[in-house]
Chains A and B, each alone.
Chain A
Amino acid sequence: MASSTPTATTLFRRLCWDGTVPIEVKIDSKELPAGSDRTLESFYIRAPRVSYLPLLIQEVKTFLFDLVLDEASAKDMKTDDWWFEAEGGALLKWHWPVGLLYDLHLVAHPAPDFQMKPFTIILHLASPPTDKLLFTPSIETCKQSFMGQLKEADFLRWGNTKRVTGLRKEDQDGLWEGIVEHNFDDFWRIASKIAPSPNPLAPPLTPNPSSPTLPAPSSRPASTQPPSGSDRDNAYSVRSVPVRIYLPDGPVIQDLVPPFLEDGLPHSLNLFLSAQLPLLFKPSPTSPLTPVDPNAPKSNLAFALIQGVIAPLDCEMAWLGACMSGADGWVNVCIGLDK
């Protein structure tokens, strides 16, 4: 039985859920069939961060069909070959949450005053580059990818996927339905059964099932209260927080993120980033006893964008995992370079 979720956690989850990003959809006019109204070039959507491009297609379709295309073309139009491209030319992945696509765009093309400008994306109606995008970009494949991410997050946290696979089919489907309908209550009613809650004052009394590759937490901050509820769902008891780092121009970085480090310190964002990206983030003053890299910067050269917020570096990774993850359970950290 999941322990009841602290109010603050619910608040942050609500904020993340309600987060939206402004998107301007421009249709590639070269691809519009003859007879279309070309004066209506752009269509604006405020898209939920937790949504996906295939789910937005419906709205775009309505706009196109009602206002742009003439009847004959509307009848023939298939959305199977539709694909999106960012204005700078970057292909937009169907199966990445909209919030991630937006944040990545923001760090890759920073605005001088860091405003939330609409993300301009170009809708192509034909010839998708299937060598670079997942083909069959349907709502079904999106759902499958989402469930896969949930399962991976589950595995990272607990070493097995029992929480996700143990959900009844209607609950599994219900999670995706919550995303499609964008209904916080419907989604979290089910998600709270599998998502961890932060409870840093109650570290586990028994060691976690350890794997050879993860440090077993040895010394812990002393607890002044007995652990409340069950450790099963404590964000600070996980093996690893599901986190991915996205650089503006590079591959996605994924590594193990235990909630506490070997010396018993909570794993903070600062410690995590200075270990993963030592040339961009200076080591924390309380970092483990490793020799200071002479190439390490004296001050941070970059910042971390999580759910569209520049995250304070003293955030704890376990807390981020419980409160600032996407609907799929992952904390997506987009790295932006300081000017």
Chain B
Amino acid sequence: DGGDESALSPPTVKSQARTVTIDQFIVYSATFQVPTFYFSAHQSDGSTLGLGDIEALRLLKAHSRPDSEINSYAITPIASPFPLLSQGDHPTLGTPCWYFHPCETSTAVQEILHEIGEMDWEGEDGLARWMGAWFSVLSSAVDL
């Protein structure tokens, strides 16, 4: 979408060009037994990006999330004591990453599968459909 960009209010990002590397991981959560999305973002000098800068990158889709409190270390829905997104160790690499808390993932995916009438799945085909639904849920929160 090229278009009338001058009519939009400018994002509050520093105007000098910079390269930001975003590492994205899908890791199986041993606790919640669902795939979980982890990511980390850093600049070319190695420094990691805080949540404020990440928000400015528009990686995360703010409009689809429930009303949330955002501070330097988490995004927490107002209605909940637990965060949507916060920092954690990557389960195998051990490095610090941001991750979406997966406790609601299963419910969200089931809702989608129910919508499209795919409740009775089996085998690899079923797993692929489950992952498809999972990606749908994820892409409502992240610009993949």
Partner-B contacts on A (CB < 8 A): 93, 130-136, 138, 140-141, 144-145, 147-148, 151-152, 155-156, 161, 165, 169, 172, 211, 213, 242, 251-252, 254-256
Partner-A contacts on B (CB < 8 A): 30-33, 42, 46-48, 50, 72-74, 81-83, 86-89, 91-92, 94-96, 101, 103
| Min CB gap A214→B, angstroms | 9
Contacts of A130 in B (CB 8 A): 47-48, 96
Contacts of A144 in B (CB 8 A): 73-74, 83, 86
Q: Given known contacts A135-B96, A141-B87, A145-B88, what 4 new A-B pairs fall within 8 Å (CB)? A: A135-B50, A136-B72, A144-B74, A242-B31
Q: Which residue of A lies closest to B72 (CB)?
A: A136
* Residue from the list A138, A148, A251, A255 in contact with B94, Cβ < 8 A: A251
* Residue from the list B42, B48, B74, B103 in contact with A151, Cβ < 8 A: B103
Contacts A130-B47, A135-B48; is A172 near B96 (CB within 8 Å)?
no
Q: Which residue of A lies closest to B76 (CB)?
A: A144
Q: How far does the alpha carbon of A165 sit from the alpha carbon of B73 in the complex, in Å?
A: 20
Contacts A130-B48, A254-B30; is A141 near B82 (CB within 8 Å)?
no
| Min CB gap B65→A, angstroms | 18
Contacts A144-B86, A165-B81, A172-B81; is A132 near B33 (CB within 8 Å)?
no
Q: How far does the alpha carbon of A255 sit from the alpha carbon of B87 in the complex, in Å?
A: 22
Query: Is there an interface contact between A131 and B46, defined as CB atoms closer than 8 Å?
Result: yes
Contacts of B73 in A (CB 8 A): 136, 138, 140-141, 144
Query: Is there an interface contact between A155 and B48, defined as CB atoms closer than 8 Å?
Result: no
Query: Is there an interface contact between B86 and A148, defined as CB atoms closer than 8 Å?
Result: yes
Contacts of B30 in A (CB 8 A): 254-256
Contacts of B88 in A (CB 8 A): 134, 145, 148
| Min CB gap A224→B, angstroms | 35
Q: How far does the alpha carbon of A273 sit from the alpha carbon of B9 in the complex, in Å?
A: 59
Contacts A131-B48, A148-B101, A254-B30; is A169 near B96 (CB within 8 Å)?
no
Query: Is there an interface contact between B86 and A155, defined as CB atoms closer than 8 Å?
Result: no
Q: How far does the alpha carbon of A148 sit from the alpha carbon of B74 in the complex, in Å?
A: 12
| Min CB gap A151→B, angstroms | 6
Contacts of B94 in A (CB 8 A): 251-252
Query: Is there an interface contact between A155 and B82, defined as CB atoms closer than 8 Å?
Result: no
Contacts of A138 in B (CB 8 A): 73
Query: Is there an interface contact between B82 and A151, defined as CB atoms closer than 8 Å?
Result: yes
30 inter-chain pairs at a CB distance below 8 angstroms, sorted by A residue, are A130-B47, A130-B48, A130-B96, A131-B48, A131-B96, A132-B95, A134-B87, A134-B88, A135-B48, A135-B87, A140-B73, A141-B73, A141-B74, A141-B87, A144-B73, A144-B74, A145-B86, A148-B82, A148-B88, A151-B82, A151-B103, A152-B31, A155-B31, A155-B103, A156-B31, A242-B31, A251-B94, A254-B31, A254-B91, A256-B30
Q: How far does the alpha carbon of A93 sit from the alpha carbon of B73 in the complex, in Å?
A: 16
Contacts A136-B73, A172-B81; is A213 near B33 (CB within 8 Å)?
yes
Interface centre among B72, B87, B88 (most CB of A within 10 A): B87
Q: How far does the alpha carbon of A211 sit from the alpha carbon of B88 in the complex, in Å?
A: 26
| Min CB gap B49→A, angstroms | 10
Contacts of B74 in A (CB 8 A): 141, 144
